[in-house]
Structures are given as C-alpha cells and as structure tokens.
Amino acid sequence: MSTPTIPPFDPANVQGDILAGLPKRVQHYLLFQIGPDVRAFRKRLAVLIPQITTTTQVVGDRAKIAENKKAAADAGKAPGLLKLSGVNIAFSQFGLTKLGITDNIGDTAFVGGQLNDAQNLADSGVVGSDGKFIPNWIPAFKQQLDGVVIISGDSELTVTATQAIVKGIFNVGAAKATMHEVQTIKGTVRPGKEKAHEHFGFLDGISQPAVKDFDKCPHPGQETVRQGVILCGRENDVDARTKQPVTRPPWALDGSFLALRFLAQLVPEFNTFLEQNPITSTGLTPAAGSELLGARLVGRWKSGAPIDVFPTADDPAAGVDPARNNDFRYTFPDDQTTQDRCPFAAHTRKTNPRADLEDPPISVSNENRRIIRRGVQFGPEVTPAEKAAKKTLHERGLIFAAYQSNIVNGFQFIQHSWANNQNFPPKASAGVPTPGFDAIIGQDGNAITARTLVGTDPSNQGAPLALVTEWVIPRGGEYFFSPSISALKSTFAL
C-alpha cells in the first residue's frame, strides 16, 4: 500500500493563533459544552467556519498593523488601534467523542485530559474518597469541557461584539442552544509601558521558535523547527523518544494541540521575596541586589535582556532588540559547570536548556520539545492596598496557551521532566550541586518542605535558596486540538 501524498503546506488551512498569533489587546476564551443536539451543533459549526481566522488572514492583519504604525510615524503621530478581531476553535477529547470522532489521534495526554494529568504535573490538590486526585482548580475546569472558542481583538467592545456573533450562531442561552457556555476567561494585555510584560514585570514571549518555510527571517539565536513540531502530520511529527513518526488520522493534518493553563500569579508576594533576599555579596545595594535576584530566578532582566549575555547589569536596549535578546546558548567559558552568568534552575534555562543538552557530552536535540506560546495576561494591576499589605487581594495572572504537535513531547514533558525535576539540567555528574526547581513554574504538589534551588548567588553558587511559596498557582486547564480548516469542513461540521 502506497503512502498517501501529503498536500503542500498552505497557511490558509491553519487556524490563525498557531503559527502567527491572533493580534490582540483583549482576548476571551469561551469554554463550552456541546449539546444537547450534537447534530444541530455540527450544522451550526458549518456556519461558524467562515468566521474562523486563518494564518493567512493573521499575516494580512499584522501587515495592516505595521502599515498603520508606519503611517502614523511618518505623520509624527501616535498610531491608533485598528479595529480587528479573530476567532479560532479547538476541541477536547470529550468534544471529539461527543461529535462521534473516534479515531486515535496519537497523543495520550490529550486523550486523558488535563484534569487527569494534574497530579502528574504536580498541581496542588487532594485525593477524594474515590481515590481520584482533585486539583485546587476553579469549578469551570473541574467539569467536562468539550471545547474552547478563542476570540481576540483590539478592545473589549470589539471582542464582546464578536463573541456575541459566535454565541448567536449556536443560540447560546436560548431554549434550543447547541452550545452551553461553561465560562468565559477574559484576558487583557497590560497597559502602557508594561505592554508585552507579564505581571511579575518581565518581558514575555521572546524565545519562540521559528517554523521552517513559514517564518522567513529568523532572528539571531532563534531556533528553526520543522513544521511537524507544531503541526500534526508535517515533517518531524515524531515521538521524541523513539524518533518514529506518530500515527495520526488523515484529518489531523495541519492541526495542533493546545495546552491551556489558567495561572494565577502572586505578585506582591514575589516582590516581597525579592526585597527580603537581595544578592549583596557582590557589593550591590539592597535594591539592586533584589533586581539581580529576580533576573537570576527568571533568566532575564525585566527588559528582556538575557542574563547569560548581561550577567551583572540590565541592558534595556538589548532587551527589546530581536537581534540580541535571544542570541545566547549558555556556552560561555565554563558555563557548563558554573553558574556565574545564569543559574541552571533559572526559568528560561529550565524550559529551554539550549546547549545544556544540545552540545557534548550530552548532544540531544531539543527540537521536539519546542512549543509556540500564545496566551495573555488577566486581572488588574497591583493596587496600592496590595503593595502596602504585601499580599494578593485581587486575582491576576496568565492565561497560558501553548501549541505543539504532541503534548507528551512538549508542554507535559517541559513541566514534568524539566521544570519540576530538581536534577535537571543534568549537572550533578560534573560535580555541580543539584540545580533544584524551576524558580517560577516548578511545582512539588503538596510538599510540606519549601522548594529550593542553587546558583542564585554568583559568589556562593552551592548555597540553596528556599523559595518559601509558589508564586504561580494553576487554577485550571485543559488539552484541546485545533483542527485545520479543511478538517473542520470535512470531519467536524455537517
């Protein structure tokens, strides 16, 4: 039997948030259940499909944004926001089953669902009377979710209006509704100079991989991955352990798995920890020592400048320069055995170890561990009352969204085997103390003892630092599959 010919890559067949990212100032995640009339839902899905934003459309929208900014700059004015909106849809395993799609899609994490994976990810929780683990999540994520509609735009007004159109298509809230809204999670890009920074204050989304034959001009240090790392059925869609191609149903081609996480951030508590534990052994003032500690926990200064290149002082210009803010590999002299420049447990190093694995003596490719991160911040800015109390009073954080062709290869592995693994990167064999937990997202479930890591103080690299508490708290999540446009038409809709 001959192998089916895979059609050429067409960005118009890929939903827009995956490779290009829906432009947004505001983003809603409409969590839904299908039904009760599944056939009616599938018919209404056919009506939604023309509203779904493709990668080709996103590329065009981003070109319009660039033209608008240039025109404003040429006129000596601040650019106004273009009225743009985007819509994508993805389904959980529950959703596929309800739709009667029974093919094995080839990803055990997706099939099991994130609720069943929560204990493996080391989310905190309790074991119920039935022996099942119950994470400390909000109710919306503890029930069956069939899918999510992602709606992005330039303003709350635009996104709310677009969401109303989507809900109208499925008669949400009406007697003959074909979709039930479980909850809408709302995110907003932070204001002013904090735009593109997450709530702890660090510039985010810098080290995205470039995708072969889509991203034409990778920046220095930006790794190019083959399309199958992100899109199912394309080149290098393989099991990271065996290197063998993953068997997928034909309709999965050009789809991508979405790992969605609703993450609360304890900002006042994080800032207080930095204030109470400044690095002063290098002669810095307490304020400068606190700033250095934060940079060494994250792996970057708040500007985005990597500490592997700028280990002692921030360089804000480099932080926002794509030609410099990702151009490093942890390969300075002796960098494999010392933490002079960057701790082994720094968040950026734990989640993308670069030369720590790719160079001798280990020489393992990280390509199939790469993910494309989207998502958006949620919640208000820290209030004066919270600053005074040094305590979180209003929930805020990150709606984390990551795309990959294989959750087991990507998000699940990064969280479980890298961020939560005290022995990663594998430095102990070189006579280096155990690195410890990822300082930002590393989790130890319900452990009584504090998480620790080493290397934060460059003058005393073996000294452990107890992190006291977790500052990033998972409040829910699910695994979804974002089908291609052709799959939506041929397999999902009627």
The predicted model gives 344-364 an average pLDDT of 92
Tokens coding 494: 């009627």
Residue 3: its pLDDT value, please?
A: 58
Does some domain include residue 42?
yes
Query: pLDDT tier at 354 (50, 70, 90 boundaries)?
Result: very high
Residue 429: its pLDDT value, please?
A: 60
User: Residue 231: what residue type?
Assistant: L
Tokens coding 132: 């099942």
3-class secondary-structure state, position 180: strand
Q: Are 346 and 352 in contact (CB under 8 A)?
A: no
3-class secondary-structure state, position 174: coil
Does some domain include residue 452?
no
pLDDT tens digit string along 427-444?
A: 756 667 899 999 999 999
pLDDT tens digit string along 108-160?
A: 999 999 999 999 999 999 999 999 999 999 999 999 999 999 999 999 999 99
Is residue 333 over pLDDT 80? no
In terms of Cβ atoms closer than 10 Å to its own Cβ (0-12, 13-18, 19+), residue 179 is: buried
User: CA-to-CA distance for 465 and 451, rounded, in angstroms?
Assistant: 8
Does some domain include residue 297?
no
User: Which residues have CB under 8 Å from 319's CB, separation 6+?
Assistant: 203, 300, 301, 302, 303, 304, 305, 325
pTM (two decimals): 0.96
In terms of Cβ atoms closer than 10 Å to its own Cβ (0-12, 13-18, 19+), residue 379 is: buried
Does some domain include residue 290?
no
Q: Residue 52: name the closest of 147, 131, 192, 181 by CA.
A: 147
Lowest mean pLDDT among 4-13, 94-103, 183-192, 424-433: 424-433
- The total of structural domains in the chain comes to 1
pLDDT tens digit string along 468-477?
A: 889 999 999 9
Q: Residue 383: name the closest of 369, 398, 394, 372 by CA.
A: 394
Is residue 450 over pLDDT 90? no
Does some domain include residue 119?
yes
Is residue 2 over pLDDT 60? no
User: CA-to-CA distance for 148 and 180, rounded, in angstroms?
Assistant: 11
Is residue 47 over pLDDT 60? yes
**Which residues is 86 bridged to in the sheet?**
152
Mean pLDDT score of the chain: 95
Active-site amino acid positions: 204
Residue 334: its pLDDT value, please?
A: 65
User: CA-to-CA distance for 487 and 96, rounded, in angstroms?
Assistant: 12
The predicted model gives 80-97 an average pLDDT of 97
Is residue 393 over pLDDT 60? yes
Q: Which residues span the domain enclosing 42?
A: 11-262+477-492
Residue 164: its pLDDT value, please?
A: 98
Is residue 380 over pLDDT 90? yes
Does some domain include residue 243?
yes
Q: Are 68 and 205 in contact (CB under 8 A)?
A: no
Q: Are 52 and 485 in contact (CB under 8 A)?
A: yes
